[in-house]
Amino acid sequence: RILILDFGSQVTQLIARRVRESGVYSEIKPFSVDPDWIREFAPAGVILSGGPASVTEAATPRAPDMVFSLGVPVFGICYGEQTMVAQLGGRVEADDHREFGRAYVDVKESCGLFDGVWTPGERHQVWMSHGDRVTALPDGFRVVGVSDGAPFAAIADDARRFYAVQFHPEVMHTPDGAKLIGHFVRDICGCPGDWTMAAFREGAIQRIREQVGAERVICGLSGGVDSAVAAKLIHEAIGDQLTCVFVDTGLLRSGEAAQVVELFRDSFNIPLVHVEAGPLFLDKLAGVEDPERKRKIIGGTFIDVFEAEAKKIGGAAFLAQGTLYPDVIESVSFTGGPSVTIKSHHNVGGLPERMNMKLVEPLRELFKDEVRDLGRELGLPDGFVGRHPFPGPGLAIRVLGAVAEDRLAVLRKADRIYLEEIRKAGLYDAIWQAFAVLLPVRSVGVMGDGRTYDNVCALRAVTSTDGMTADSYPFDHGFLSHVAHRIINEVKGINRVTYDVTSKPPGTIEWE
C-alpha cells in the first residue's frame, strides 16, 4: 500500500484515484501526520502531493524527514518535488515567471520512473502549475526531463528510488501521466496491483461498523446512484440499524419515484419511508425564477421535510450521505486558491448541524465512475447503476424561470422521448448526461394550417468523466431531427427544439 502525503493540492484525490486505477490501495494523510502512524502503516512507497505553499517562505509544510529514511521509494509531485529537494539539501527559488497550464516535457535520460513508460527523446504534454522552481539538486539526483519553464521538470535518484516531477501527472491534461503513477506504485514500489472495488467494499463496511457502533442511521435517498450506493453499502454494514427516507420532491422524471421505492423496499428489503412532498415543493417555488434561490428553497424545504420524518423515526445519531469527491471540490482550481462556488451543489448543506447528527459519508473519496463500479459490486441493477447523474433540485433547474406543474409536465414528456430515442440508438452509456430543458421563451411556428406561438425546448447531452469538464455529444443530424420531430408532434406546448453545443467550461452542464 501507498501513502499519499497531502500538501493541500486541489487534485490530491486524483493521485489516489490513479493509484486505485492501478489496482493498488492508498491512503491520503495530511503532511503533518504523526511519524509513528507512518511507521505502523508501513507503506511500500510514498507520494508527496502538490500544494499551494511556497517552500521558499518560512514555516511552510514539510514532509516528516523520516519519510526519506524508510527505505521505500518516494515520488514528489509539484510542491512535493520542491519540498523533497529542499529537505534533501537542494535549492528552490521563487520565480517571477510562473508557469500554469499546458507545457511539454522533453525526456532527456532514462531512469527508474520512466523505465518502460517514457523514453529519452520523446516529448510529452503535461500540466504545469507552479511559481517556484528548483535551482540546485540534492546529492544523488540528476535531471531526466526538462520543459521550457522548468529545467528540473523531472529528476531522479535511482539509488534511493526517489523521483520527482514539477508537473501534475495525475490530471487528464497530462495524458501519459497516469502510466507514470501506475508504474511507480506497481513496478517501483512492488505493489501487486490486485486491489479491487471488492476490497474497497470490505474496507468500507468495516469503517462504517467502527464509526456507527450500535447507533441508528438515517439515509436520504434522492433517486440517484450515489445515495442508493451509500444506502446499500451501509445496509450491508449495519442491517436494519439503517432507515432510508425518500423525500419525493415531485421534481423527478417520469416513473423514477416508483422505481426507487420498488428497488429498496421490495428487492432489497431496506426499511424505507416514502414522503410524497411534491405539492409542498411547488408551493414554495411558486413564482421563483432565480436559479440559486430555487436551489436554496428546495434545499431548505428538503431539510424541513426530512427533519420532520427523522423526528418521527426517532433515535438516529447518524445521517448518511452519498457525498462524492467532486461534491467536496466542485471546481478544480490549479492555482491553489480557494475553489469558487459556481453553483451551490450542497443541496442539503446544514442538515447535519441543524439536526445535531454526525455524518456517515462512505463515498467521500470516490469519483462517479468508481461509485458505479461499487454499485455493481453491491448488486444494484445495471440499469440503475448506469443512470445518468441527476441534480438534487431536479427538474426545477431544467424548467428555466418559474416552475409550475404544467411546465414540469411538458418537460417530462419531452425528456422521456429524448431519452427513449437515445436508448433506442444505443447511445445512453456513451453519454454522461442527457436531458431536455424547457426555455422561458416562446417562438412562432406553423403546424398544419395554423400559426403556433409556443415553448422552445433545448436538448443537452454531454460526455465527461467527472462532471468537472464536459463536451457536447456529437449526435448525427438525422438523430436530432428525428427527436425534434417526435417532440414537436407528441408534446403539446413545444413547437421548437434546439441542441446545445456548448462545452464546460465555459458553459455548465445544467442550464441553471
Is 227 annotated in a binding site? The answer is yes
CA distance 295 to 292: 5
DSSP assignments along 272-334, one per residue = EEEEE-HHHHHHHHTT---HHHHHHHHHHHHHHHHHHHHHHH--EEEEE----HHHHSSS--T
Q: Give the three-class secondary structure for 43.
A: coil
97 is catalytic: no
Is 299 annotated in a binding site? The answer is no
CA 355: distance to chain centroid?
A: 26
Least Å distance between CB 365 and ligand XMP?
Answer: 18
Is 225 annotated in a binding site? The answer is yes
Is 222 annotated in a binding site? The answer is yes
Return the number of the residue (8 or 401) whose C-beta is nearest ligand XMP. 401
Is 436 annotated in a binding site? The answer is no
**What residue type is 370 in one-letter code?**
E
Least Å distance between CB 464 and ligand XMP?
Answer: 8
Return the number of the residue (150 or 397) whose C-beta is nearest ligand XMP. 397
CA distance 232 to 409: 31
CA distance 251 to 412: 10
Least Å distance between CB 24 and ligand XMP?
Answer: 28
Residue 474 grid coordinates: 456529437
Least Å distance between CB 467 and ligand XMP?
Answer: 4
Catalytic residue selected from 81, 99, 170, 309: 170
CA 58: distance to chain centroid?
A: 34
Instruction: For residue 67, give the DSSP letter.
Output: G
Return the number of the residue (278 or 507) whose C-beta is nearest ligand XMP. 507
CA distance 67 to 75: 11
Least Å distance between CB 367 and ligand XMP?
Answer: 12
Return the number of the residue (157 or 226) whose C-beta is nearest ligand XMP. 226
| Residue numbers at the binding site for ligand XMP (CB under 6 A) | 295, 342-343, 345, 347, 389, 391-393, 433, 467, 504, 508-510
Neighbours of 431 (CB within 10 A): 17
Q: Give the three-class secondary structure for 104.
A: strand
Return the number of the residue (462 or 488) whose C-beta is nearest ligand XMP. 462
Return the number of the residue (212 or 260) whose C-beta is nearest ligand XMP. 260
Least Å distance between CB 351 and ligand XMP?
Answer: 13
Catalytic residue selected from 99, 111, 130, 168: 168
Is 239 annotated in a binding site? The answer is no
CA distance 18 to 179: 9
Least Å distance between CB 503 and ligand XMP?
Answer: 11
Return the number of the residue (375 or 467) whose C-beta is nearest ligand XMP. 467
3-state secondary structure 194-253: CCCHHHHHHHHHHHHHHHHCCCEEEEEECCCHHHHHHHHHHHHHHHHHEEEEEEECCCCC
Say which residues have a Cβ less than 8 Å from residue 255's Cβ, sequence separation at least 6. none
β-strands 216-221, 316-320 pairing: parallel
353 is catalytic: no
Q: Which residues pair with 318 in a beta bridge?
A: 217, 358
Least Å distance between CB 307 and ligand XMP?
Answer: 19
510 is catalytic: no
CA distance 261 to 244: 10
Neighbours of 311 (CB within 10 A): 11
DSSP assignments along 454-507, one per residue = EEEEEEEEEE-SSSSSBEE----HHHHHHHHHHHHHHSTTEEEEEE----BTTS
Is 226 annotated in a binding site? The answer is yes
Return the number of the residue (52 or 299) whose C-beta is nearest ligand XMP. 299
DSSP assignments along 125-137, one per residue = EEEEEEEEEEEEP
CA distance 233 to 375: 8
Question: Which residues participate in the annotated binding site?
Answer: 222-228
Question: Which residues participate in the annotated binding site for ATP?
Answer: 222-228
Indicate which residues carry an active-site annotation.
78, 168, 170
